[in-house]
Amino acid sequence: MPKVSLVTLGCAKNLVDSEVMLARLDSRGYSFTADLSQADILVINTCGFIGPAREEAHRTIDQGLSWKQARPGRLLVVVGCYPERFPDYLKARYPQVDVWSGVRAFDRIDEIIEKKKDVSRAGTFLLDHRTPRVISTGPHWAYVKISEGCSHRCSFCSIPLIKGPYKSRTVESVVREVKNLADLGIREINLISHDTTYFGRDRKGPGLTVLLSRLLSIKGIEWIRLLYGYPEEVDDSLLEVMLEPKMCRYLDLPFQHASNSILKRMGRGLGGARALRLLDRIREKVPGVAIRSSLIVGFPGEGRKEFRELRSFVARARFEHLGVFCYSPEPGTVAAGLGDTVPEAEKKKRQQEVMWQQREISRQFYANFRGQTLEVIVDGSEARKPGYLATRARFQAPEVDGQVLVEPAPGLKGKDLPAFLKVRVKRSLDYDLIGRVTDD
């Protein structure tokens, strides 16, 4: 059978879609290679969410075309959010691509390849517990996608245009998938969605707290983490569940901005003062919680006053983890009609200012762990420091937050690494910790 190489761009939700494609191809007898020179088929799973993501897709497609031209008979397939959003533009720009497909046929990638045409069906592709996946993350953790789409109407966001309205899986479907993952040795699950806190509301059925209560009872699962929440949907019932021992005291809540005028233009309802009160309530009810957020700088109308409000908010919020992004006008969104009033150079300057501010907050946060003993989950070897292990504490989500780097020690090499270790922290960096294994 032909050899396939699959490249995934974008977010964790795209990664799950790629895992579905890998499983489908594996079941049909295809083999895989990370060495492009050995591949007969290249599948690129794209992100089309913002301008920089599309630019990355362009570079990757250009590389794919060079690969295709180097040997006759090679097949280049491009799928995902970008061709879902702009199919005509991409087909005109890259006529040499063999097949295009959007976000509705990941589980039929074998048919796309064999028929050399898109076989998308109407409606949203929503995986369930019967959908095979090849887990491509660390040996002990996995993502679990609990929904597709989004029903919020943030003025800057194109997700509803790409994925459609919010569509939850059933509680039973998610529970059965997590049980299967536990049987495979997965010990940490990271629930992902375009809005995890909205889960079940579209069905007018059991919501997130019911789902979490079911997942907490699954034998073998030790850590449960929530990613991609929505601040206004955090309620006391969720905060109460987060006190359970298996729950990572971690919330990912994109606030996007703090200026009331900017938030109104964004279509976001939670102003800066209310956001700070929410953060206080979360930290009061869930001691030791780590909060990740994301912010957008350079949104239309963001002048010096609005940016000062944002800086003040960051200083008071003291997020444990923060991502800051430059505004990118998205065709078809309401915000695109507001113009792009902040120059790109100024956006980058503001982004850097906030990240330097956050760097000091992060440095102080990590310094608090010096001398402490932490339970960490083992992700594998650390490429940046040969001999070290890459691990994470409960307050660190995979791929987006820092790590706990563990010094070399006897028995910490090879494939049979334990899922969890106890580590005494010796040093703290801006975004990472360094420690040694301990029996304490």
* Residue 120: predicted pLDDT: 85
Reading the block at residue 279, the tokens are 């953060």
Residue 121 inside a domain? The answer is no
Residue 21 inside a domain? The answer is yes
Say yes or no: 345 and 380 in one domain. Answer: no
Nearest to 173 by CA among 193, 147, 139: 147
* Residue 274: predicted pLDDT: 94
pLDDT in tens, 204-242: 889 999 999 999 999 999 999 999 999 999 999 999 999
More confident call, 396 vs 383 = 396
pLDDT range class, residue 19, cuts 50, 70, 90: very high
Task: Provide the CATH number for the domain around residue 394.
Answer: 2.40.50.140
Say yes or no: 33 and 154 in one domain. Answer: no
Residue 126 inside a domain? The answer is no
Say yes or no: 172 and 192 in one domain. Answer: yes
Residue 92: which residues within 8 A CB-CB, separation 6 or more?
A: none
pLDDT range class, residue 383, cuts 50, 70, 90: low
Say yes or no: 345 and 418 in one domain. Answer: no
* Residue 50: predicted pLDDT: 87
Give yes or no for residue 263 having a pLDDT over 80.
Answer: yes
Integer Rg of the chain from CA: 22
pLDDT range class, residue 271, cuts 50, 70, 90: confident
Say yes or no: 108 and 256 in one domain. Answer: no
Residue 298 inside a domain? The answer is yes
* Residue 414: predicted pLDDT: 60
Reading the block at residue 348, the tokens are 């980058």
Give the angle 276-211-170 at the CA atoms, nearest 5°. Answer: 120
* Percent of the chain residues past pLDDT 90, beyond the cut: 87
pLDDT in tens, 298-317: 999 999 999 999 999 999 99
Nearest to 91 by CA among 78, 75, 109, 80: 78
Give yes or no for residue 381 having a pLDDT over 90.
Answer: no
* Residue 439: predicted pLDDT: 83
Reading the block at residue 367, the tokens are 């310094």
Reading the block at residue 249, the tokens are 């005291």
Domain that holds residue 99: 3-115
* Residue 123: predicted pLDDT: 78
Task: Provide the CATH number for the domain around residue 362.
Answer: 3.80.30.20
**What residue type is assigned to position 197 of the chain?**
T
Say yes or no: 342 and 310 in one domain. Answer: yes
* β-strand pairing of 41-46 with 404-406: unpaired
Say yes or no: 189 and 155 in one domain. Answer: yes
Say yes or no: 22 and 100 in one domain. Answer: yes
Q: Indicate the average pLDDT of the chain.
A: 94
> 157 among the known binding-site residues?
yes
Say yes or no: 179 and 325 in one domain. Answer: yes
Please, are residues 318 and 290 in contact by the beta-carbon 8 Å criterion? no
Q: Is 149 left (phi over 0), alpha (psi -120 to 50) or beta?
A: left
> 248 among the known binding-site residues?
no
Q: What is the DSSP letter of 247?
A: B
* Residue 350: predicted pLDDT: 98
Say yes or no: 354 and 405 in one domain. Answer: no
Mean pLDDT value of segment 262-277: 92
Residue 33: HSE in the Cβ half-sphere, 13 Å Cα cutoff: 12
* Residue 387: predicted pLDDT: 80
Residue 423 inside a domain? The answer is yes
Residue 135 inside a domain? The answer is no
Residue 407 inside a domain? The answer is yes
Task: Provide the CATH number for the domain around residue 79.
Answer: 3.40.50.12160
* Residue 284: predicted pLDDT: 97
Spatial separation of the C-alpha atoms in residues 191 and 85, rounded to whole Å: 25
pLDDT in tens, 161-203: 999 999 999 999 999 999 999 999 999 999 999 999 999 999 8
Say yes or no: 229 and 360 in one domain. Answer: yes
Spatial separation of the C-alpha atoms in residues 67 and 37, rounded to whole Å: 8
Q: Which helix or strand (DSSP H or E) is residue 143 part of?
A: strand 141-145
* Residue 415: predicted pLDDT: 66
Strand partners, 6: 43
End-to-end CA distance of the chain: 52
> Number of folded domains in the chain?
3
Reading the block at residue 316, the tokens are 């008071």
Say yes or no: 259 and 363 in one domain. Answer: yes
Residue 124 inside a domain? The answer is no
* Percent of the chain residues past pLDDT 70, beyond the cut: 99
pLDDT in tens, 52-104: 899 999 999 999 999 999 999 999 999 999 999 999 999 999 999 999 999 99
pLDDT in tens, 106-161: 999 999 999 999 888 877 788 889 999 999 998 899 999 999 999 999 999 999 99
> 326 among the known binding-site residues?
no
